[in-house]
Amino acid sequence: MVPVPAPSPFADWENFYVIVGSSAAALTGLQFVVMALIADAGAKTGGREIAAFGTPTVVHFCSALLASAIVSAPWRSLVSPAFAIGALGAAGVVYAVVVTQRARVQTGYQPVFEDWLWHSILPFTAYGGVVVASLVLRSNPEEALFLVGGASLLLLFIGIHNAWDTVTFITLKYRTTNDESKASGGSA
């Protein structure tokens, strides 16, 4: 008799990660549209501001996509996915610290609490959750997969919020600049 392999704890998550991964990939493309709108609006945004507030949005979408790919791969044991998820989480934690530093040193925008929450605190929390998940994946896969799933969704929501926040900020700033220019007799 041929032994039947135990069912993978990842199998129950297949549809979830198809949705999350597809959304992350599509939203990554949307962020490119956001950046094109910023450039088209003639906004005076420097590299430091983009590194602090624009690029992390793409990174968070790509991290959700990568987590989806890792959990959807046909692993034969839990050791390799635990390592891969751990590497993703650790890199994300380091990146969240780097982004926080970038936000502190840029001078084009003065962040408020909401910015620190969405650009620093929540990403650090999401990536930290992924690190914890990697540490418990082998001993408690069900809970670990809920942590990875929750972190992936959080990264999607962070990206959506931050992309929207960027678009509205640029739109309002550009509109205000144009309105002031028209009021002073300048051309738009």
**Residue-by-residue pLDDT tens, the chain, 188 positions:** 766 566 677 888 888 888 998 898 888 887 777 777 767 766 666 778 888 888 899 899 999 999 999 998 888 899 999 999 999 999 999 999 999 999 999 988 889 999 999 999 999 999 999 999 999 999 999 999 999 999 999 999 999 999 888 878 777 776 665 555 555 555 54
Give yes or no for a contact between 21 and 64, defined as CB atoms under 8 angstroms apart.
yes
Q: Which two tokens stand for residue 130?
A: 């992924």
Give yes or no for a contact between 139 and 95, defined as CB atoms under 8 angstroms apart.
no
| DSSP conformational letter for 13 | G
Specify the pTM.
0.82
Residue 75 makes CB contacts below 8 A (sequence gap 6+) with 8, 10, 81
Interval 119-157: pLDDT, tens: 999 999 999 999 999 999 999 999 999 999 999 999 999
Say how far apart CA 148 and CA 181 lie, in whole Å: 49
Say how far apart CA 83 and CA 116 lie, in whole Å: 29
Residue 101 makes CB contacts below 8 A (sequence gap 6+) with none
